Amino acid sequence: MTKTILIADDHPLFRIALRQAIPQAFGDTEIKEAGNFEGLQAELDRGTALDLLLLDLSMPGTYGYSGLIFMREHHPDLPIVIVSGNESSKTVHQCIGYGASGFIPKSLSLPEMADALKTIDKGQVWIPQQAREQHHEPDLDQKQLAEILGGLTPQQYRVLCYMAQGLLNKQIAYEMGLSISTVKAHMTAILKKFGVFRRTQIVAAMKRLDLDELGFDADSR
């Protein structure tokens, strides 16, 4: 049975690499691509039935671990494998703690990537060797934050990510093609779901999911 796999990564060259590794793991497959989180969401909104999502840990439209958390909460039956240039054991285990089925470093060779995908396809969690010797769990606050993110709509999630990046309402409205009043309405709903009264409180909470705060080097994506 032909598998349908979506590669969500903003680096075209790495999408090409994954396109070469996937057939080595699964044979004949239908491969779809998205270069940002909006494109990923649009593909899912079209009703595309996916067997596997390969998700870049840091890509346009996401903030820290929030992209993984949002996808996991809204698509609980979809296996999600993180692909990243960040290989720290803490990051690897954070991703597994947030529901990823595996973590594939971008430094792996194509045969190694294919072997990792085969392992994941058998229902096993795959992580790089150096991370297997250590263990980290998301703290309680992060788990609570994950539950809140899971309750957001796709539009609310996009507003939240822009807000966490420091954009003002008018800038968010421009980026999303919305009116400022609509952005404010989304903001009000987000504040209510977080149970706070000021956007600064939400930004502070989101910092717990910030890859930079956890030592992530954006240039290594």
Low-confidence ranges of the chain (pLDDT < 50): 213-221
Q: Which of 132, 154, 179 corresponds to the end of one domain? A: 132
Residue 63 C-alpha from the chain's centroid? 8
CB of 130 within 8 A of CB of 110?
A: no
pLDDT for the residue numbered 12: 92
Q: Which of 132, 157, 176 corresponds to the end of one domain? A: 132
153-210 residue pLDDT tens:
888 988 998 888 889 999 999 988 999 999 999 999 999 888 888 888 888 888 777 7
Say if 218 falls within a structural domain: no
Number of domains in the chain: 2
pLDDT for the residue numbered 154: 86
pLDDT for the residue numbered 18: 93
Q: Are strands 80-84 and 52-56 parallel, antiparallel or unpaired?
A: parallel
Closest CA to 14 of 94, 82, 97, 101: 82
pTM of structure: 0.77
Is residue 201 domain-shared with residue 123, that is, in the same domain?
no
pLDDT for the residue numbered 54: 97
Q: Which of 64, 99, 132 corresponds to the end of one domain? A: 132
